[in-house]
Structure 1
Amino acid sequence: MPLLAQISDLHLDGTRRTAERAARVMAYLESLTTPVDALLVTGDIADHGEIAEYEEAARLLAAPFPVLTCPGNHDVRATYRKALLGEEPADGPVNRLHLLDGLAVLMCDSTIPGHDEGLLDDETLGWIDANLKALPTGTSALIAFHQPPVAVHHPLPDASRLQQPDALTVLLGDHPEVIAVLTGHAHTAGASVFAGRPLIISPATTWTLQLPWQGPELIDRTQPPGLAFHVVDGTAITTHFRVVP
């Protein structure tokens, strides 16, 4: 049974605060009695998409377990590729498939350069479809990207959620091997349903969204960094949320 951790929205910006919070999460993960099989980082790794921010991310995210990433709306594809992935700069979608003990994890690029809202474009949808079709029979899959494809009932993230989610709904109709969709972006732990699957939203590392019924403030910077643990048992996923003191 793969054990995965998920974090999101580090917003590394060269300040001591963001780096310290990310380092706390990584130290916590490395201290676990049972190590995770992989860490998923669902976007907004850098705050401004600068080379120095990704160089810092590469140092902070170095770990004895695989670290799987996808970009968010604050990330810039060319510098993300160069400084975080060690690849040649390029402006196309950054999509990666990872196989973990019979589980496929598709880290997908839902960004629209220069915009906060998300979109899984035709290239990415085609990539998802082709990779799912190529999986060995009996392989379960997770799809991860940044912007949630459903409303989370807060005006801030809902103003920039995934556009044209019906295209993904149609695609998933042909792929029952996909057991859950994982996202970030909302800066709050959450769960819903999308295309008949669990939709799990990771909390943020940098700050926590204040929900409308909690008060008028949008951002709570006093809350500790959050993360999710996912246990995948065949075609079932169980998620636990934790904060790092």
Structure 2
Amino acid sequence: MLIAQITDVHLGFEPDNPNEFNRKRLDQTLRTLVAMKPRPDILLATGDLADTGEDEVSYRRLREAVAGLPFPIFYAMGNHDGRAAFRALFPDTGHADGFIQYAIEEHPLRILVLDTLEDGRHGGGFCETRADWLRARLAEQPDRPTLIALHHPPLATGLSWMTEDPGAAWIARLREIVSAHKNIVAMISGHLHRQITTIWAGTRLSVCPSTAPQVALDLDSIDPDLPDGRPMIVADPPGYAIHYWNGTELISHYDTAGDHLVLARYEPALQPLVQMLVAEKQTG
């Protein structure tokens, strides 16, 4: 099973421009995914779909951008999103107790999509109502391999300004649940506009780079009272992830959309190498 992931689309950053920079980057990424062989089975869009979530125009543009994709797309909420405006344009997306939380059951790997949007906060949230939903879903199939998708990675990243308080109540609540279920094979998230991987609560936590511009790698301390001119946002190419479920493990690949400089192709000169590698694999 191949699971594509995009995140932090931020449509509407230029609200009066339907052909905005972020839309061009999204379109470029979607073209890359559609051209893949084999194509992904599904696409997860893990939040910050819009830049201003109360504006239905941004979600209308998103709906136009994904129309006609040859694979289903599933959504999570980010801190820039708005549940009411999103549901007005995407009424078929799953929800529970007023939150955009749901299970994707139709594939070999079960996927639980969490809602970490906390109104009025840039960082995440995960209240007891949402936690009860997650506990109930995990209790339904305690032995089935399960992937958790969410927007906010619940960890202190080391980044100067894009990070969480690891002692926050919502993080402790989520950690208690995840650490108690060994069938959670991984967690995937967005929010940080960078590729990051760690082990959290006993499972792998992977952060996908954004289709919108990336956050600069900056592990230095930052003084909120002293702007020092450091880079914060950089126009690196739009990123995405491909998560490959082989029936036992989840393997995550990351790439950027667009053309790559090709230095070698599978032509007769490289056939002996390919033959050797295939034979070596078959013989163990």
- TM > 0.5: yes
- Aligned to 2:252, the other structure's residue is in SS state strand
The counterpart of 2:90, out of the listed 84, 101, 112, is: 84
Code of the aligned partner of 2:203: R
Equivalent residues of 1:55, 1:84 under 8 A apart: no
Counterpart in 2 of 1:200?
Answer: 206
TM-score (norm. length: structure 1): 0.91
Greater strand proportion: 1
Check the 8 A contact 1:118/1:161 in 2, yes or no.
Answer: no
Q: Using structure 2 for the length normalisation, give the TM-score.
A: 0.79
SS at match of 1:85: coil
Count of aligned pairs: 242
Residue 158 of structure 2: aligned partner: 153
Distance in 2 between residues matched to 1:107 and 1:182, nearest whole Å: 10
* Cα distance change of structure 1 residues 121 and 56 upon mapping to structure 2, 3 Å threshold: same
Q: Give the letter for the 2:233 counterpart.
A: I
Q: 1: distance between equivalents of 2:195 and 2:210?
A: 8
Matches within 5 A, 1:15-164: 15-49=19-53, 50-62=55-67, 63-85=69-91, 92-135=98-141, 138-158=143-163, 163-164=168-169
Deviating above 3 A after TM superposition, structure 1's stretches of 4 or more consecutive aligned residues are 159-163
Residue of structure 2 equivalent to 1:4: 3
2:243 to 230, 236, 241: 230
User: How far apart, in 1, do the equivalents of 2:143 and 2:30 lie?
Assistant: 32
Q: Which sits farther off after the overlay, 50-59 or 95-104?
A: 95-104
CA apart distance, 1:86: 5.1
3-state DSSP of counterpart to 1:175: coil
Backbone CA RMSD of aligned residues = 2.4
**Could you tell me how far 1:84 is from its partner in structure 2?**
2.7
Contact 2:157–2:164, Cα closer than 8 Å, also in 1: no
1:218 aligned residue: 232
Match for residue 176 of structure 1 among 182, 201, 218 = 182
Q: Give the distance between the partners of 1:235 and 1:150, measured in 2 at CA.
A: 26
Return the alpha-carbon distance in structure 2 between the equivalents of residues 156 and 46 of structure 1.
21
SS in 1 for 2:161: helix
Identify if the C-alpha distance between structure 1 residues 186 and 110 changes in structure 2 by more than 3 Å, giving closer, same or farther: same
Identity %: 29
Aligned amino acid, residue 148 of structure 1: P
* Aligned counterparts of 1:111 and 1:162: Cα–Cα separation in 2: 18
* Alpha-carbon separation, structure 1, partners of 2:56 and 2:167: 26
Kindly state the Cα deviation for residue 168 of structure 1 after the two structures are TM-superposed: 1.4
Q: How many Å separate the matches in 2 of 1:43 and 1:85?
A: 16
- Does the 8 A contact of 1:98 with 1:105 survive in 2? yes
Relative to structure 1, the CA distance from residue 69 to residue 161 in structure 2 (aligned partners, 3 Å threshold; closer, same or farther) is farther
- Flag the structure with larger Rg: 2
Between the aligned partners of 1:114 and 1:175, the Cα distance in structure 2 is 31
Instruction: Supply the distance in 1 between the matched residues of 2:126 and 2:115 (Cα, whole angstroms).
Output: 7
Shift of 1:113: 0.9
DSSP-derived class of the 1:158 partner? coil
Q: Which runs of 5+ in 2 are unaligned?
A: 13-17, 221-228, 259-284
Task: Give the letter aligned to residue 2 of structure 2.
Answer: L
1:146 and 1:174 map into 2 onto residues whose CA distance is 21
Q: What corresponds to 2:193 in structure 1?
A: 187
Any stretches of 5+ residues in structure 1 without a counterpart?
Answer: none
1:226 aligned partner, one-letter code? G
- 1:91 to partner: Cα distance: 8.9
Instruction: Classify the secondary structure of the residue corresponding to 1:4.
Output: strand
Equivalence for 2:277:
none
Which moves more between the two structures, 153-162 or 70-79?
153-162
